[in-house]
Amino acid sequence: MQVIVHGGAGSTPDEPEPRQAVLDEAANAGGTAETPVDAVEAAIHVLESSPRFNAGVGGAVQSDGVVRTDASIMTDDRSVGAACSMPGVEHAVSVARVVMEETPHGFVSGEHAVALAEAYGVETAVDLWSDRTREQWADLEVPEGDVETQLEWIRDQYGRSDPDGRDEESDGVGDEHDHDTVGAVAFDGESLAAATSTGGRWLALAGRVGDVPQVGSGFYCCPAAGVSATGAGEDIARVTLSRRVARHVERGLDAGAAADLAIEEFGELTGSSAGVIAIDSSGRLGSAFNSDGMQTARYDTTDLELTE
């Protein structure tokens, strides 16, 4: 099994070593799974349970004080499942898998996705707050009022997790936790799978959904390659970043070159920050980013060792 995982594209984290240890654990969990779908789910479970990443526990808080999770999964036969806007669901990736395997649909949202999770044994009503998010939320002065009042406040705060506004960029690119969406891609020599999971962006309008559950944007898988993306969600969706990587592989590039080219194009088109990981159908792994950092971990049985 070959697995590559990412912990989000953003600024360089203050404590990279503990985060890397969790990423290594996630890659190892995926690498010992039986199938690529099992592998990406197992890897992301580890990351969703760690408050060091913006997925599951410790996810970003929306404007109404609720943490909502989104996730997606796809295989190289283009089977797909996505779920979004789920309060209290730690393992959002498992709900996405339920959508893919148990329903005739590709995307289920909100309270209905939570009900689906509960029906298929995915734990709900989980406390997704971490010590970090509780402290940051407590320091905010959230305005009361209608949606327009909230939007006026959100336009200034959106993306920030620094309550004092010390981030250099108002879209949150300067914050190490804001883009910490997680993802995994796996290949067993025959088939590919890709998955992505997130808590969204800090202080987004309640109900905001980004790129993660949108096919071709935060994730994509086809016979040529599996891809997971992370970064500025609205811009990732505008250019369908993950599909762009896969298209370059289809045109003859290997996963590494395709990732590099797609990120170069993304930067030119949007001026924003993002990162991608990919595996192609020849088993070549790639990753690229234009943010300050994006931590990854790899498990490759061809090397018989875990690599960072």
Distance (Å, whole) CA 250 – CA 137 = 45
Amino acid at residue number 256: G
Which residues share a beta bridge with 187? 2, 192
Please state, in angstroms and as integers, the Cα–Cα distance from residue 69 to each residue in 31, 57, 132, 160, 277, following that order: 25, 9, 17, 18, 21
CB of 102 closer than 8 Å to CB of 120: yes
Find the catalytic residue in 69, 75, 124, 181.
181
Q: Is 198 tagged catalytic?
A: no
Distance (Å, whole) CA 126 – CA 21 = 24
Distance (Å, whole) CA 179 – CA 181 = 6
Tell me the CB-side half-sphere exposure of residue 3, using CA atoms within 13 A. 33
Q: Which two tokens stand for residue 89?
A: 């669901």
Active centre residues (catalytic): 181
